[in-house]
Structure 1
Amino acid sequence: KRAVIMADGNQITIDDIGLNAVQDEGELRLDLRQVREEAEKRVVITALGRADGNVHRAAEMLGVSRPTLYDLMHRFGMK
């Protein structure tokens, strides 16, 4: 499998890969909870898209049960 990351410069930054950095008193820290939640939401959306909205197939792709996928969809404000 391969992935492509689009970057504005010669180096890949956290902004290029979708990790949100938070400045805390001059020190850079990553909000892991927020990053994890954003990643989960993106992968749920992607799985549902690839499954043409079929929740059962999307749940199989994600390796979760249908009720778990419904819980994730509810948490992310999806219908």
Structure 2
Amino acid sequence: MSESRLGTVGVVVDDPESAPQINAILHQYADIIVGRLGIPYRSRGVSIIALAVDGSMDAISGMTGRLGKVRGVSVKAAISKR
């Protein structure tokens, strides 16, 4: 069994049409998402999603990898070392 890690994931959404696909991915990984904050930044035409995660590196990497493949989405993660 993989060690559980804490971290944050930042998601910037440039294409609002991608929202259903993003939400479907986040729903599939709901078991590792501790908290979620969504901010529509209307003046810039983007949305920002901040996630607090607690899970294996495989699960976190799987989620960020799938999100990063969605059109108009940029993803970065910061994971604790312990």
Place the TM-score, normalised by the shorter chain, in its bin.
under 0.3
Asked which structure has the greater RCO (Cα within 8 Å, sep 6+), the reply is: 2
Which one has a larger percent helix, Structure 1 or Structure 2?
1
> Could you state the TM-score of these two structures normalised by the residue count of structure 1?
0.27
Which one has a larger percent strand, Structure 1 or Structure 2?
2
Structure number with larger C-alpha Rg:
1
> Could you state the TM-score of these two structures normalised by the residue count of structure 2?
0.26
